[in-house]
Chains A and B, each alone.
Chain A
Amino acid sequence: MTTGNVGRPAGRIGGLDRVTGRQRYVADLRLDDALHVKLVTLPCARAWIVDIDTSKAWEVPGVRTIFTAADLPDPMPRYGVHYDDRPVLAVGETKFHGEPVAAVAADTLDAAQRAAALVQVQYEELPPVLDVRAALDPAAPLVVDPVLRPDDPLASTNIRREFRYAWGDVDTATADLVIENTYTFPMVTHFAIEPHGFVVAADESGVTVWSSIQHPYILQRVMARVLGLPLSRVRVIAPDPGGAFGGKGYPKFEPLLAYMAMATGRPCRLVLTLDETFQAVRRNNAEVRIRTGFDSDGTIRFQDIEADFLMGAYVDISARVISKSSHLAAGPYRVPNARILARALHSHTPPSTAMRGFGTPQFSWALEQQMDEAARRLDMDRLEIRLRNLARKGEEFIPGDTPADGDWFESVRRAADAIGWGEPLPDGRGRGLAVGIKSSATAGAAYSILRFLYDGSVFVLVGTSDMGQGARTILTQIVSDELGVPPEAVNVVMGDTAAAPFDYSTSASRSTVFMGGSVMRGCAELKDQVREMAARLRGCEPEEIEIDRGVVTFPGGEQKGIVEVVQEGLGAVGGELIAVGLMRGEADPNHPIGGRPWFYEFNCTAVELEVDRRTGEVLIHKHVTVADVGKAINPQHVESQDEGAAIMGLGHTLMEHLVLDEHGRIVNLGALDYRIPTTKDMPLDLESIIVENGDGPGPHGAKGVGEGGLLCVAAAVASAVTDATGVVIRDLPLTPERIWRAINEVTRSEVSP
């Protein structure tokens, strides 16, 4: 019997296929007879489509269909996760650079590409709305036709939603020191190394969709609705994504391919180029204006926060990103009075979606710099002012919400110790420290089916996706321990809605808690079945049978292995035991964000860095990231996730920024001009520390992990840059040019006396 897998750095299941090149991602699948699709786009964000002439494109041999809006149902089918706002193809007017106006399907990719280039579109370019200021201008053109927003009082504006939260009374709150600033967070993109890929096949029985999607069941629901099919006629097959980070959560071009597959009778395949993925997904850029009141001892008196998030042309999941993150905008601190207003704005830019951190990095960037400024103005230590205000474990730091669920002081102290807080520094160096917090999932359902087979091996069927975080390995470790079967005997089957039952999503760092909990319950149900079986064989009561890690103990002390008992019970006919695991968290319509978070992801990041004053370049000597995870089911996976999150955070902190021209085109489209961290950008020393107090709601006291390490990287680095140079910068990224300018423009040096 193998026992004790939980808590060990078990090797990644699927690792062997990944180092040998055998792992098949969507683009590696080969479907007989599949047509290749190429999208036709315009060289600007917003344009009125006057005419589309496909006659020359049809002359290319091998072209099987060319779709424009005219080939789709009228009115144009629209889809989305919460708002059905996205057209299958642009109709009338394009809303962002990269939105397809037509699509070609051909026998070969060459033919599709040639034909797409020959589709002639007459259009009139129209002035676009590209930034927050323009989106809020009452004179600006409307991104969304008000006809599509019936009964919406904001329909005549570019504001889709306004989220307001408040407690205490900011207007009457007094403070010794009030600090007011505006912070900006840039447009950045996910840049998963695997570009998005989709294949759709259609026949009279329904559609089958292959997609690099994180949430197969959300895709199934959206496809069924847009196509008018029952759920049982939409099969989603989701091979493990090659990185996702939130960017592969929601439907993109699957509906278009379904229509093209239905029209041609052949599977249609579209693998985006990296440039096209840049136009498909990005993080919400934001402007956060924040007014914070402090007592002279550094105690926070109030937070008055107003944030504008630029969602882009369609809502996707952004309204949720904004409503959820803004509820936690005041951070992990005791804040007696708070007023928060967050706006979700439309613009003629690629639609934003979920991205690691889900809106909270934008707030953390602002909030943590306010703490630093207060420390400077009050002549306090930056660590001390945070500890003074940090919520204690069990404290309801947001009225009516989940109380602080971890010993956050411990995380901060461990980060401070690891970075050598307060110790002397060499010349030119600085240290910074910041905290970040993110709400986990508030609701959801995770079903699992566990099949205990005759030989003691186990199928675990789950709708979760393994996109690098290692869900398959974690679930295997849990099941292996619970049933006392070796990990090699556990086969976790994912990524097929025809095989695996419903899982709400693989998001919000939920899988260990939700699906882990689900399989724990499935294992408990299996053990109940074995107890019943054993009791029947021995003529005793099930309660008299004990099962611990695969060892069945009968009354009187006789012990047998679980497999032996099951085989005896199933007898000559054979068979298997089947159990359903179920974990549900119902939505709460009375809660401001639809339910209390199941747990918080809390992180403290500390850095020591050096700024080259001649060039503005930052060299990070040490980066410490501390995660409060409750229990690390697999410490190696936890550390990998946190290290990866830290480096992704360094991306938006130091270099990443999508730049738009006046036509709304992304200027730095592609890997040449949009830089993400490489091996040469990583900190010289990167240390991941895990805090485990067993205080999470998941198996063995686990909480979710994987996003925390990114949340407050920008503020920690900025704090250290200020420490090293004396300059304060409130706009990201902290490029060498921006730092150099700040150092050299004395008037912009804003260090307080």
Chain B
Amino acid sequence: MTPQTMNITLVVNGQHHSLDVAVHHSLLDVLRNDLDLTGTKECCAEGECGACTVRMDEKAVNACLVLAVEADGRDITTIEGLATEDHLSPVQQAFLEEGAVQCGFCIPGMVMSAAYLLEHNDAPTEEEIREALSGNLCRCAGYKRIVRAVQRAAEAGR
């Protein structure tokens, strides 16, 4: 039995895609395997670690928990779509400046969650930052510097 497929359209980082996707594949599978956008990472594949956080329309989502067919017609932003050719986004810049990056595997998801937070709250308290990032696991546990980076990005953005 070959898996059932469906045609979907996605806008990913501003580019239109028409894709035949297996109905059981997640948005994460499609981003990483069909579109070779490997910046979005896979770790737990059950929505707990946040490594696959992407933007879907107005929401930050765990791409592992979204079926690709559910994303049909949606506008997706991944870590690859955050910086312009010349400029890093304020969050990316702040992560570098605060030394918030260690092994880096959690960082794309962490950056996406932080960017989402700052879009909705341009002056988050430390507690609000901790809350907003609590779904993104970092085992190098650079949390202190990550929180600082978000504060720095917030200041830069105001």
Binding site for B on A (CB under 8 A): 9, 11-12, 14-25, 27-28, 30, 61, 110, 190-195, 240-245, 273-274, 467-470, 636-637, 640, 643-644, 646-648, 670-672, 676-680, 682, 686
Query: Residue A644 contacts which of B79, B129, B140 (CB distance < 8 angstroms)?
Result: B140
Contact of A468 with B108 in the complex, beta carbons under 8 Å? no
Residue of B nearest to A648 (CB): B141
Distance in angstroms between the alpha carbons of A241 and B104 in the assembled complex: 9
Contact of B95 with A193 in the complex, beta carbons under 8 Å? no
Residue of A nearest to B36 (CB): A30
Contact of B130 with A640 in the complex, beta carbons under 8 Å? no
Chain A residues in 8 Å Cβ range of B137: 191, 193, 671, 676, 678
Q: Knowing A15-B96, A680-B131, say if A643 contacts B22 (CB, 8 Å).
A: no
Which residue among B80, B92, B141 has the maximum number of chain A CB atoms within 10 Å of its CB? B141
A-B contact pairs, 20 of them (CB 8 A): A11-B97, A19-B88, A19-B101, A21-B80, A30-B36, A110-B22, A193-B103, A240-B104, A243-B139, A245-B139, A640-B145, A644-B141, A647-B143, A671-B43, A671-B48, A672-B46, A676-B139, A677-B143, A678-B134, A679-B134
Residue of A nearest to B92 (CB): A19
Contact of A193 with B49 in the complex, beta carbons under 8 Å? yes
Chain A residues in 8 Å Cβ range of B142: 640, 643-644
Contact of B144 with A686 in the complex, beta carbons under 8 Å? yes
Query: Residue B44 contacts which of A24, A241, A274 (CB distance < 8 angstroms)?
Result: A274
Contact of B140 with A20 in the complex, beta carbons under 8 Å? no
Count of chain B residues with a beta carbon within 8 Å of a chain A beta carbon: 56
Residue of B nearest to A685 (CB): B144
Q: Knowing A21-B79, A240-B103, say if A679 contacts B139 (CB, 8 Å).
A: no
Residue of A nearest to B37 (CB): A21
Distance in angstroms between the alpha carbons of A27 and B28 in the assembled complex: 13
Distance in angstroms between the alpha carbons of A678 and B146 in the assembled complex: 12
Distance in angstroms between the alpha carbons of A643 and B51 in the assembled complex: 21
Q: How far is the CB of A633 from chain B (nearest CB, A)?
A: 14
Residue of B nearest to A673 (CB): B48
Contact of B92 with A193 in the complex, beta carbons under 8 Å? no
Contact of B103 with A243 in the complex, beta carbons under 8 Å? yes
Distance in angstroms between the alpha carbons of A14 and B105 in the assembled complex: 12
Residue of A nearest to B133 (CB): A679
Binding site for A on B (CB under 8 A): 2-3, 22, 32, 36-46, 48-49, 51, 78-80, 82-83, 88, 92, 95-97, 99, 101-108, 111, 129-131, 133-147
Chain A residues in 8 Å Cβ range of B37: 21
Contact of A24 with B38 in the complex, beta carbons under 8 Å? yes
Contact of A682 with B144 in the complex, beta carbons under 8 Å? yes
Distance in angstroms between the alpha carbons of A425 and B134 in the assembled complex: 29
Contact of A671 with B46 in the complex, beta carbons under 8 Å? yes
Q: How far is the CB of B154 from chain A (nearest CB, A)?
A: 16
Contact of B95 with A19 in the complex, beta carbons under 8 Å? yes
Query: Residue B103 contacts which of A17, A21, A242 (CB distance < 8 angstroms)?
Result: A242
Contact of A677 with B141 in the complex, beta carbons under 8 Å? yes
Distance in angstroms between the alpha carbons of A195 and B135 in the assembled complex: 18
Q: How far is the CB of A110 from chain B (nearest CB, A)?
A: 6
Residue of B nearest to A9 (CB): B99
Q: How far is the CB of B5 from chain A (nearest CB, A)?
A: 11
Distance in angstroms between the alpha carbons of A245 and B105 in the assembled complex: 14
Contact of B111 with A193 in the complex, beta carbons under 8 Å? no
Chain A residues in 8 Å Cβ range of B97: 11
Q: How far is the CB of A667 from chain B (nearest CB, A)?
A: 16
Contact of A243 with B105 in the complex, beta carbons under 8 Å? yes
Further pairs besides A193-B105, A679-B130: 7, Cβ < 8 Å: A192-B105, A243-B102, A243-B140, A640-B140, A644-B142, A671-B137, A678-B135
Chain A residues in 8 Å Cβ range of B143: 647, 677-679, 682
Contact of B104 with A14 in the complex, beta carbons under 8 Å? yes
Contact of B2 with A648 in the complex, beta carbons under 8 Å? no
Query: Residue A671 contacts which of B44, B107, B147 (CB distance < 8 angstroms)?
Result: B44
Chain B residues in 8 Å Cβ range of A671: 43-44, 46, 48-49, 137
Q: How far is the CB of B92 from chain A (nearest CB, A)?
A: 4
Q: How far is the CB of B20 from chain A (nearest CB, A)?
A: 14
Distance in angstroms between the alpha carbons of A252 and B103 in the assembled complex: 21
Contact of A20 with B79 in the complex, beta carbons under 8 Å? yes
Distance in angstroms between the alpha carbons of A179 and B124 in the assembled complex: 51
Contact of A193 with B130 in the complex, beta carbons under 8 Å? no
Query: Residue A468 contacts which of B40, B42, B44, B104 (CB distance < 8 angstroms)?
Result: B104
Which residue among B40, B78, B143 has the maximum number of chain A CB atoms within 10 Å of its CB? B143
Distance in angstroms between the alpha carbons of A240 and B105 in the assembled complex: 10
Residue of A nearest to B135 (CB): A678
Q: How far is the CB of A12 from chain B (nearest CB, A)?
A: 6
Chain B residues in 8 Å Cβ range of A644: 102, 139-142
Contact of A241 with B103 in the complex, beta carbons under 8 Å? yes
Distance in angstroms between the alpha carbons of A17 and B144 in the assembled complex: 21
Contact of B46 with A670 in the complex, beta carbons under 8 Å? yes
Q: How far is the CB of A515 from chain B (nearest CB, A)?
A: 18
Q: How far is the CB of A651 from chain B (nearest CB, A)?
A: 9
Query: Residue B96 contacts which of A11, A245, A679, A686 (CB distance < 8 angstroms)?
Result: A11
Distance in angstroms between the alpha carbons of A163 and B43 in the assembled complex: 38
Q: How far is the CB of B122 from chain A (nearest CB, A)?
A: 19
Distance in angstroms between the alpha carbons of A195 and B41 in the assembled complex: 10
Residue of A nearest to B42 (CB): A27
Residue of B nearest to A17 (CB): B104
Q: How far is the CB of B149 from chain A (nearest CB, A)?
A: 10
Q: How far is the CB of B111 from chain A (nearest CB, A)?
A: 6
Contact of A25 with B141 in the complex, beta carbons under 8 Å? no
Q: How far is the CB of A170 from chain B (nearest CB, A)?
A: 40
Contact of B141 with A20 in the complex, beta carbons under 8 Å? no
Residue of A nearest to B104 (CB): A18
Q: Knowing A19-B111, A20-B79, A192-B105, say if A682 contacts B46 (CB, 8 Å).
A: no
Distance in angstroms between the alpha carbons of A670 and B45 in the assembled complex: 9
Contact of B96 with A16 in the complex, beta carbons under 8 Å? yes
Contact of A20 with B48 in the complex, beta carbons under 8 Å? no
Which residue among A27, A61, A193, A643 has the maximum number of chain B CB atoms within 10 Å of its CB? A193
5 interchain residue pairs of minimum CB distance: A21-B39, A242-B105, A468-B103, A18-B104, A647-B141
Distance in angstroms between the alpha carbons of A18 and B37 in the assembled complex: 14
Chain A residues in 8 Å Cβ range of B3: 110
Chain A residues in 8 Å Cβ range of B88: 16, 19-20
Chain A residues in 8 Å Cβ range of B41: 25, 193-194, 242
Chain A residues in 8 Å Cβ range of B146: 679
Chain B residues in 8 Å Cβ range of A190: 139
Contact of A274 with B99 in the complex, beta carbons under 8 Å? no
Distance in angstroms between the alpha carbons of A190 and B36 in the assembled complex: 28
Contact of A19 with B103 in the complex, beta carbons under 8 Å? no
Chain A residues in 8 Å Cβ range of B105: 25, 192-194, 242-243
Residue of B nearest to A110 (CB): B3
Distance in angstroms between the alpha carbons of A644 and B142 in the assembled complex: 6
Distance in angstroms between the alpha carbons of A110 and B92 in the assembled complex: 35
Residue of B nearest to A19 (CB): B92
Q: How far is the CB of B133 from chain A (nearest CB, A)?
A: 5
Query: Residue A12 contacts which of B38, B44, B48, B99 (CB distance < 8 angstroms)?
Result: B99
Q: Knowing A15-B101, A648-B139, A682-B143, say if A274 contacts B45 (CB, 8 Å).
A: yes
